[in-house]
Structure 1
Amino acid sequence: MADQFLEVQIPQQRTYNSIPFPSVLSPNPTTTAVPCSVSHLTETIKTQKPFLDSLLHKTGAVLFRGFDVKTAEDFNEVVEAFGYEEFPYVGGRAPRTNVVGRVFTSNELPPDQKIGFHHEMAQAPESPSELFFFCEVAPTSGGETPIVLSHIIYERIRHEYPEFVEKLEKHGLIYSLILQEDDDLSSPIGRGWKSTFSTQDKSVAEERAAKLGIKLEWMEDGGVKRITGPVPIIKYDKSRQRRIWFTSMVDWEDVGHDPVKAITFGDCTPLPADLCYDCLKIIEEECVAIPWQEGDVLLIDNWAVLHGRRPTNSPRRVLASLCK
């Protein structure tokens, strides 16, 4: 049944141990007369689910390109076809809005702003297992969603900075971030506490935060300091039997946040800023940034892959869906 899809190569792919990253699937014109339609794609996903699950596990990310996915409704049908359980976006910090069904805006930060590499909801007790992205409006330049394999990053950083990684493994990190009362769309982590915890009641917010392992300290201006941790940073991916760099520890130059103070080791000692920026360079060196084409659907294993966003000055609309 895998011949319903055609695995193709594109210039931006990388190869690790002879495995392309990401895998790119397009319609196979030799197997059907209407290979590009949404209905054909969803039926093929259902019948080839074991193949797609195996491919995602092997590569960490799968890009579907060349299919007739045009709208948020089409994208929602594709997500539903995989049969994954929906992951509720409670406690996440990115400002986003529900579009239809299980589809949300990916991040409402203006498109000319960069978003640093991260695993989705890495600080929460439970994170999404799969992420879908869909390009509804492709930018004319820039605006890519760069991705990188987390275990490759762990291995490189451990090799170059073993003592730093040893301390991370021992202590984890503490995040002390400020949430304003309402959303700040100028920040990639600007979701206000009301929308973060889906309530306007402080006591309800505290209850919901506690379930996520978060402590809240209220401020006089109506905002709140959100303290999370210590959070494990180096995790073990049991299904692949390897350690991964599961964090959002770098690139937090955000309004109201000094990254040196906002993120510390779990023993409250400061992070070495120079090493943090070196880690960013390593991630950039290893990442893959594929220019979006309209209709692209990107499926990411959130345990295997970090993602971010490149800035663009042209219109861009990428939608998302979180699964578990």
Structure 2
Amino acid sequence: MDDEHGWTPLEIRPGDIGASADADGLLAYLADRQLIGDLLVKEKALVFRGFGVARDRLEPVMDGVLPNRLAYVHGNSPRTKVGDNVYTSTEYPAEMTISMHNELSYSSRWPARLMFYCEIAAETGGATPVVDGTRWLGALDEEVRDAFAGGVRYTQNLHDGYGLGKSWQDTFETEDRDRVEEYLADMEATWEWRPDGALRVSQIRPATIRHPVTGDEVWFNQADQWHPAALGDETAAALADVLPEEDLPQSVSYADGGPIPAEHVLQVRDRGLAEAVDVDWVAGDVLLIDNVLVGHGRRPFTGSRRVLVAMTD
């Protein structure tokens, strides 16, 4: 990976650390958790290449860097659970670009780290772009940063088993309404059960936060992904003919309820992608990122691609 953007993830290969070129070599290096933690905060993202980690050796590798693996509760993107709190990366069509974002930044609780593992590399494309959150924030016009200063309001409409988007059962990995309400209360969200069994959830969150160790201020919201403008003109127009914005599976406004201009979220999306550095995959690669300091996304691809993700607090 080049460093034309002034920052790039740190690549670690067996020869760099005097380790064997296999999962055992990587596991021995990961055993020093203090070293890995300090290095991750310093470098923001680490790419482990050349260790050829096979799928059946993935669990101990994850245990080494994700001490308290989390379920993808309250996640808003389609993915499949394939192990003990291990998931496929977002299952959007291969031709789509997934814009930059920090996992669960729309929630009051988010994972501190994410680990990605490439089981099958795409035939072409399919890189995971990563972006330094301080550079993303600095790339935005002052007008846009000022407009977001008061924060954003996220609204989700989660159906009861049939409809657009995700169901509340899939989102919270339960069919128990009491458990959902307990979770939402803990998240300081507001909610309403609809007559048709659907659930409407609203949360007000800041647009930027500071890293708890470095103090760096980073762009940390998903307004561009929740805004109808991100769907493209034709898709947004088609949905507008069917549903008012407040009834879409997800929508976003400024914290005071005011509308966010399309040009603002498109600037956020496009400049985040422009500042990103691509991590090109080879099967067996592992990527570890600090989920506050670094945003991530996905480039379009052809052929089969299978990248798994897990997270920790």
Normalised by the length of structure 1, the TM-score is: 0.83
Partner of 1:142: 125
Distance 2:17 2:138 in 1: 41
Residue from 95, 101, 112 that aligns with 1:112: 95
What corresponds to 2:225 in structure 1?
251
Q: Equivalences for 1:69-88 in 2 at 5 Å?
A: 69-71=53-55, 73-82=56-65, 84-88=67-71
2:213 to 239, 245, 252: 239
Identity across aligned pairs (percent)?
29
Q: What is the Cα deviation at residue 244 of structure 1?
A: 0.8
Task: Tell me how far 1:57 sits from its aligned partner.
Answer: 1.0
Kept after mapping to 1: 8 A contact 2:13/2:49:
yes
Contact in 2 for aligned 1:76/1:102 (Cα 8 Å) = no
Distance 2:45 2:17 in 1: 25
Show CA shifts across 1:140-191 (max 9, x none).
112211110111111222xx2x24323422x21001122223488xx9xx43
Q: CA deviation at 1:43?
A: 1.5
Q: 1:26-65 alignment to 2 at 5 Å?
A: 26-28=13-15, 31=18, 35-47=20-32, 49-65=33-49
SS of residue paired to 1:289? strand
Aligned counterpart for 2:309 among listed residues 305, 308, 320: 320
1:21 aligns with 2:8: yes
Is 1:192 aligned with 2:138? no
The answer to whether the Cα contact below 8 Å between 2:22 and 2:50 also exists between their aligned partners in 1 is no
CA RMSD of the aligned region, Å?
Answer: 2.6
After the TM superposition, which residues 262-281 of structure 1 pair with which residues of structure 2 at under 5 Å, given as runs? Answer: 262-281=251-270
Pair 1:226 & 2:201 matched = yes
CA distance in structure 2 between the partners assigned to 1:42 and 1:83 by the alignment: 13
Could you tell me which amino acid in structure 2 is paired with residue 107 of structure 1? T
Q: Residue 81 of structure 2 is aligned with which of 74, 83, 98?
A: 98
CA contact (8 A) 1:93 1:196 kept: yes
Tell which has more relative contact order, 1 or 2 (C-alpha 8 A, sep 6+).
Answer: 2
Are residue 129 (structure 1) and residue 103 (structure 2) matched? no
- Offset, 1:124: 1.5
Q: Do residues 177 (structure 1) and 177 (structure 2) align?
A: no
> What is the number of equivalent residue pairs in this alignment?
298
Q: List alignment gaps of at least 5 residues for structure 2.
A: none
- CA distance in structure 1 between the aligned counterparts of 2:178 and 2:118, rounded to whole angstroms: 38
- Displacement of 1:203 after TM fit? 4.2
In the alignment, structure 1 segments of 5+ residues that lack a partner are: 1-9
